[in-house]
Amino acid sequence: MHVTIFGTGYVGLVSGTCLAEVGHDVVCVDIDQRKIDGLEAGVIPIYEPGLEPMVRANHAAGRLKFTTDAAAAIAASEVVFIAVGTPPDEDGSADLQYVLAVARTIGRHLQAPAIVVDKSTVPVGTADKVRDAIAAELAARGVDIAFDVVSNPEFLKEGAAVEDCMRPDRIVLGTSSPASIERLRRLYAPFNRNHDRIVAMDVRSAELTKYAANAMLATKISFMNEIAGIAEKVGADIEQVRKGIGSDPRIGWHFIYPGAGYGGSCFPKDVQALARTAVQHGHEPTLLDAVESVNDRQKRHLFELAVRHYGGAAALRGKTIALWGLAFKPNTDDMREASSRRLVQQLWDAGARVRAYDPEAREEARRIFGDRDDLVLCDSAGDALQGADALVVITEWKQFRSPDFAQIRARLGDGVLFDGRNLYEPADVEAAGIAYWGIGRGRSI
């Protein structure tokens, strides 16, 4: 089928590439000419495992094209995806200006009946606004062309985006049109082979499904961080508690890892946006507000542990802190809402210097932080330890999982490790003569 995708960010680029991979003709449209030129030349703007070879192969095969020419792309497509960003507005609600600008563009250039598919994460009711925006443009042109707006949220995870997209656990389609479902069923047939993953529903339920999924996952994390806080106070070990509850299939093993707080471009934004939607419709989002405030507290927790260890923030002045990890999670260079950013700022405010190493996020960190005397972006985990007093692990990259603690001890002036993702056994660290502080490990009272 002929498909156009607006937006070449994570969702648009990955979805477009995967649709081309299964044989569809895909045109990706973006207003950023430099990005489009780069993509045409095989330069992938994000780090995502497996994406680059797939983009290049499909581009070479002629099934995946990149352009800024929206008019030509729309005219040639049966299905038009909207996958542009919905950044938070000042009040936390999702800013729809990019989504609606694309809708108007579609209305201006539509030549034949088409399905418009909303893949961006958008508040309930957006499909109606998209429909109105397209209809207004068609009316201004004095033409009557049939179209349907379908909500088809994306559930891919950064770092596993290609895998998630090629093997989705569900394909949510929100529309009241059986004909649209049938067309999209054909589009997604290659991803839907062994058992039917299509979940068809009305458009508002589909829009809410996306927020409910992310809010539920964020809730699990904040819940565990809350329990970790209690464990720390009562002298229990959250890691034992995690194992004790995860075996209950109703609770499950996933997303119950306490840590330095959740980050990324989705959870913080989506929890806030859903809370805004609730307020706008007269519902008090008590739980969502708590999920967010627990996360906010959690992002400050590693610094508080450091203050506790050193007996006050003043003692951090002049210290050099090694940081392992900057990205909001492993296998990505994305630092949006990363817990590392809050910690680095707190350390600077206290007069400490930072030596940081991240396997992928170095350039992103340089872009965000700029050149400063109190930050060194290092080439390796070992390099970050040079001349450092303490080590903080904040992103659980695989390569940080089994370090040589004796070597770490030899390099760290103060011999203290803050484990923001509970990667290590306290006893292993302490056996090397290093003081250990983790998240919710009562031993660290």
CB atoms within 10 A of CB 137: 18
412 binds ligand UGA, rule: CB under 6 A = no
Does position 185 interact with ligand UGA (CB under 6 A)? The reply is no
Q: Is 329 in the site for ligand UGA (CB under 6 A)?
A: yes
- Contacting residue, 221, 231, 288, 344, with ligand UGA by CB under 6 A: 221
28, 165, 266, 378: the active-site residue: 266
- CB-based contact 117:140 (threshold 8 Å): no
**Of 27-35, 88-96, 112-120, 263-271, which segment contacts ligand UGA by CB under 6 A?**
263-271
**Which positions from 107 through 136 interact with ligand UGA, judged by CB under 6 A?**
121
| Among 95, 255, 368, 382, interactor with ligand UGA by CB under 6 A | 255
Closest CA to 206 of 174, 244, 229: 174
Q: Is residue 319 part of an annotated ligand binding site? A: no
Closer CB to ligand UGA, residue 329 or residue 355? 329
Q: With contact defined as beta carbons under 8 Å apart, do 422 and 257 qualify?
A: yes
> Can residue 376 be called a binding residue for ligand UGA (CB under 6 A)?
no
Residue type for 188, please? Y
How far are the Cα atoms of 165, 166, 433 from residue 154, in angstroms, in the given order?
8, 12, 47
Please tell me whether residue 217 binds ligand UGA under the rule CB under 6 A.
yes
Give the number of C-alpha atoms closer than 13 A to the C-alpha of residue 188, restricted to the C-beta side: 26
From the list 208, 210, 198, 197, the residue with the least C-alpha distance to 173 is 198
- Give yes or no for residue 391 binding ligand UGA (CB under 6 A): no
Centre a 10 Å sphere on the Cβ of residue 410 and count the other Cβ atoms it contains: 12
> Any contact of residue 263 with ligand UGA (CB under 6 A)?
yes
CA atoms within 13 A on the CB side of 387: 11
Whether 378 is a known active-site residue: answer no
Cβ–Cβ < 8 Å for 185, 192 = yes
- Residues contributing to the site for ligand UGA (CB under 6 A): 121, 154-158, 214, 217, 221, 255-257, 259, 262-264, 266-267, 328-329
What residues are designated binding site?
A: 30, 35, 86, 121, 155-158, 210, 255-259, 263, 269, 329, 336
Residues involved in catalysis: 266
What residues are designated binding site for substrate?
A: 155-158, 210, 255-259, 263, 329
